[in-house]
Amino acid sequence: MRIECPTCQTVLEDVPPDFPTRPFCSGRCKLIDLGNWLDERYRVSTPVNPELMDEEGLLN
Ligand SMILES: [Zn+2]
Protein backbone atom coordinates (compact mmCIF):
# COMPACT_ATOMS: atom_id res chain seq x y z
CA MET A 1 0.00 0.00 0.00
CA ARG A 2 0.94 3.64 -0.35
CA ILE A 3 1.24 6.06 2.58
CA GLU A 4 1.97 9.76 2.86
CA CYS A 5 3.74 10.75 6.05
CA PRO A 6 1.67 13.39 7.90
CA THR A 7 4.83 14.88 9.39
CA CYS A 8 7.18 15.28 6.44
CA GLN A 9 4.80 14.48 3.53
CA THR A 10 7.15 11.80 2.25
CA VAL A 11 5.27 9.36 0.04
CA LEU A 12 6.17 5.74 0.53
CA GLU A 13 5.19 3.14 -2.05
CA ASP A 14 4.70 -0.58 -1.42
CA VAL A 15 4.43 -0.30 2.35
CA PRO A 16 3.32 -3.53 4.02
CA PRO A 17 -0.01 -3.40 5.93
CA ASP A 18 1.83 -4.10 9.19
CA PHE A 19 4.36 -1.32 8.68
CA PRO A 20 5.16 -0.42 12.32
CA THR A 21 5.22 3.37 12.02
CA ARG A 22 2.28 3.69 9.61
CA PRO A 23 1.05 6.24 8.61
CA PHE A 24 4.41 7.83 9.35
CA CYS A 25 7.50 7.18 7.24
CA SER A 26 9.66 6.57 10.30
CA GLY A 27 9.65 6.38 14.07
CA ARG A 28 11.19 9.81 14.13
CA CYS A 29 8.25 11.37 12.30
CA LYS A 30 5.86 9.51 14.56
CA LEU A 31 7.59 10.99 17.61
CA ILE A 32 7.56 14.47 16.08
CA ASP A 33 3.82 14.22 15.50
CA LEU A 34 3.24 12.90 19.00
CA GLY A 35 5.36 15.73 20.37
CA ASN A 36 3.30 18.28 18.44
CA TRP A 37 0.12 16.74 19.74
CA LEU A 38 1.32 16.82 23.33
CA ASP A 39 2.48 20.38 22.84
CA GLU A 40 -0.99 21.38 21.58
CA ARG A 41 -2.60 19.59 24.47
CA TYR A 42 -0.30 21.28 26.95
CA ARG A 43 -1.10 24.70 25.55
CA VAL A 44 -4.86 24.00 25.58
CA SER A 45 -4.78 22.78 29.17
CA THR A 46 -2.59 25.62 30.47
CA PRO A 47 -5.56 27.74 31.71
CA VAL A 48 -6.67 24.74 33.78
CA ASN A 49 -3.36 24.54 35.62
CA PRO A 50 -4.09 27.30 38.20
CA GLU A 51 -7.19 25.38 39.28
CA LEU A 52 -5.16 22.22 39.67
CA MET A 53 -2.62 24.16 41.70
CA ASP A 54 -5.43 25.44 43.95
CA GLU A 55 -6.74 21.93 44.48
CA GLU A 56 -3.30 20.72 45.41
CA GLY A 57 -2.98 23.71 47.74
CA LEU A 58 -6.21 22.74 49.49
CA LEU A 59 -5.00 19.18 49.91
CA ASN A 60 -1.85 20.46 51.50
ZN1 LIG B 1 8.04 11.41 7.69
**Topology classification of domain 3-59:** Erythroid Transcription Factor GATA-1; Chain A (3.30.50)
**What is the Cα–Cα distance from 19 to 27, expressed in whole angstroms?**
11
**What is the Cα–Cα distance from 42 to 55, expressed in whole angstroms?**
19
Cα 18 to ligand 1 centroid, rounded to whole Å: 17
**Tens-place pLDDT, residues 34-51:** 999 888 887 866 665 666
Cα 51 to ligand 1 centroid, rounded to whole Å: 38
* Residue 5 pLDDT greater than 90, yes or no: yes
**What is the structure's pLDDT at 13?**
96
Cα 10 to ligand 1 centroid, rounded to whole Å: 6
Cα 33 to ligand 1 centroid, rounded to whole Å: 9
**What is the Cα–Cα distance from 42 to 52, expressed in whole angstroms?**
14
Arithmetic mean of pLDDT over the chain: 84
